[in-house]
């Protein structure tokens, strides 16, 4: 499978520091920052620093170190925001919109962490 990464996408520009972002957490391989147009009181995006379009691209081509770092970053942000039910948080929604039907706007892998309110039905019907 060939994945064609657009190195001019908006998150690539954030990683190149060409445009600003509100970073909440950062590791060697991952960056977490506030969504510019929040859909919930807490709306954070977590991206790998490497050039991956989607989760398939990432899991098939990233190193194990990158994959572990990214997944642990997501959970660390959830814990930092006190959203995890195991520690009395009220829960959250984790979303990775992918491709056309997933309505992915930015072609760089990102997970949305949404919380701070009841997120309602999973998708519009
Ligand atoms: P998606 O439809 O999953 O690709 O969502 C892309 C998300 O990126 C949207 O929720 C946008 O509000 C968000 N977004 C776009 N540009 C920026 C930016 N410069 N900084 C932070 N979030 C952004």
User: What pLDDT score was predicted for residue 87?
Assistant: 86
Task: Determine, yes or no, domain membership for 104.
Answer: yes
For position 104, which CATH number holds?
3.30.428.10
User: What pLDDT score was predicted for residue 123?
Assistant: 87
Among 6, 35, 38, name the best residue to mutate to test ligand 1's pocket (greatest count of ligand atoms within 8 A of Cβ): 35
Task: Determine, yes or no, domain membership for 3.
Answer: no
Task: Determine, yes or no, domain membership for 100.
Answer: yes
Range of the domain at 75: 10-115
Average pLDDT across the chain, whole number: 96
Task: Determine, yes or no, domain membership for 2.
Answer: no
The ligand 1 site (C-beta within 6 Å) comprises: 10, 19, 21, 35-37, 45, 97, 103-106
- Spatial distance between the Cα atoms of 34 and 36, rounded to a whole number of angstroms: 6
Task: Determine, yes or no, domain membership for 125.
Answer: no
Radius of gyration of the chain (CA): 14
Tens of pLDDT, residues 67-117: 999 999 999 999 999 999 998 889 999 999 999 999 999 999 999 999 999
Taking a C-beta distance cutoff of 8 angstroms, is the pair 41, 117 a contact?
yes
Tens of pLDDT, residues 19-60: 999 999 999 999 999 999 999 999 999 999 999 999 999 999
User: What pLDDT score was predicted for residue 89?
Assistant: 85
Task: Determine, yes or no, domain membership for 83.
Answer: yes
Which 8-state DSSP code applies to residue 7? T
Confidence category of residue 124, pLDDT binned at 50, 70, 90: confident
* Mean pLDDT in residue range 11-25: 98
Task: Determine, yes or no, domain membership for 63.
Answer: yes
Other Cβ atoms closer than 10 A to 93: 16
| Bridge partners (DSSP) listed for residue 84 | none
Task: Determine, yes or no, domain membership for 89.
Answer: yes
**Total domain count, the chain:** 1
């Amino acid at each position: 499978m060939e994945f064609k990464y657009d190195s001019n996408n908006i998150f690539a520009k954030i990683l190149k520091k060409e445009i600003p972002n509100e970073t909440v957490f950062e590791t060697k391989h991952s960056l977490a920052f506030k969504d510019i147009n929040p859909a919930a009181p807490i709306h954070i995006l977590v991206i790998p620093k490497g050039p991956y379009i989607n989760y398939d691209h990432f899991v098939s081509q990233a190193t194990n170190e990158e994959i572990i770092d990214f997944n642990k970053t997501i959970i660390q942000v959830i814990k930092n925001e006190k959203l995890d039910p195991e520690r009395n948080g009220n829960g959250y929604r984790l979303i990775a919109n992918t491709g056309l039907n997933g309505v992915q706007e930015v072609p760089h892998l990102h997970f949305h962490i949404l919380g701070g309110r009841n997120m309602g039905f999973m998708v519009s019907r």
